[in-house]
Amino acid sequence: MVSAFPILELFYFQTGDLSIMKGILSLILQLLGLFLVVAFVFSLINYTFGWHLGMKGQEVPSDPGAAFMFLGIGLVSAGAGFLLDRSKPIKQAG
């Protein structure tokens, strides 16, 4: 079977499901959400107090529109990572 995503097939055929890849994707989405929420806080601090907060010499924009865009994308990606990470309830026999 030829696929556009051979790495997904590798995980699928080794584990029987995509749980490893799903866990990695969930971790990436949750970390992205965390970083964007931190960028939201930095951006509001820059806007409010006129500071120049950033990381490694790169300043976070001091624009409230960009700050709320960071917050929105961060919350959506963190929520998607959380929903992707949830496991299905185990059905008990009986």
pLDDT digits (tens, 9 = 90+) for 32-87: 999 999 999 999 999 999 888 877 878 888 889 999 999 999 999 999 988 888 76
User: At which residue do the structure tokens 């490694």 appear?
Assistant: 56
Q: What are the boundaries of each domain within the chain?
A: 20-85
Q: Which of 43, 45, 34 is closest to 74 using CA atoms?
A: 34
Residues 6+ apart with CB under 8 A from 8: 18, 21
- Cβ of 33: how many Cβ atoms within 10 Å? 21
Least confident of 14-18, 46-50, 53-57, 88-92: 14-18
Query: Do 74 and 35 contact (CB within 8 A), yes or no?
Result: yes
Longest Cα–Cα distance of the chain, Å, equals 64
Query: Do 80 and 29 contact (CB within 8 A), yes or no?
Result: yes
